[in-house]
Structure 1
Amino acid sequence: MVIALEMGLNSPPVGINVFVVKGIAEGVPLNTIFRGIWPFWFAMLAALCFVFLLPDIALLLPTTMFR
């Protein structure tokens, strides 16, 4: 759920995190910032698909705590 929320906060039309970066780096155009987030966005998408297909990865740490 956290990965999906972060993807929403980084992608258009909302892109709250991108506008925060724009406020900090005032000289950088917004288009450049959006182009820079796509590799990270696709990496998060791959991680989300990986966890969706293999949920034991996400449950590894909690199951080791309760053994």
Structure 2
Amino acid sequence: MLVVTIPIFYPTMMSLGFDPIWFGVIAVILMGMITPPVGMNVFVVKGIAQDVPMSTIFKGVLPFWFAMVVCLMLLVIFPQIVLFIPQAMY
């Protein structure tokens, strides 16, 4: 999903003045590890606990999804969190 969407949205985000590192972190969070329908962690858990239905696994992931939404909101409100280490490297 990242391979398809990043070439479309990256030039737009850069023309709007967003930092490319910040955009990359936000993109990975949005399309990343927990978010359905491609949440990789969900499929890892399904591979380990094969007798547990996917609906139960997604219900179990729900608190972590809300925590990720809070984290995402903080990163949007305070982009300095994402850019702290890259700016320290200069």
Aligned with 1:19 (options 43, 55, 75): 43
Pairing of 1:1-67 with structure 2 (within 5 A): 1-6=27-32, 10-11=35-36, 14-17=37-40, 18-66=42-90
Partner Cα distance (1:43, 1:16) in 2: 15
| Identical columns (%) | 46
- Confirm or deny: 8 A CA contact 1:10 1:16 kept in the other structure: yes
How does the TM-score come out when normalised to structure 2? 0.60
Deviation digits for residues 36-67 of structure 1 (CA, Å, limit 9, x no counterpart):
1111111111111100001111111011110x
Number of residues of Structure 1 aligned to a counterpart in Structure 2:
63
Moved over 2 A (4+): 15-21
Deviation digits for residues 6-64 of structure 1 (CA, Å, limit 9, x no counterpart):
16x532xx244223422331111222101011111111111111000011111110111
Structure 1 residues without counterparts, runs of 5 or longer: none
Q: Name the aligned partner's letter for residue 3 of structure 1.
A: I
Cα distance change of structure 1 residues 49 and 21 upon mapping to structure 2, 3 Å threshold: same
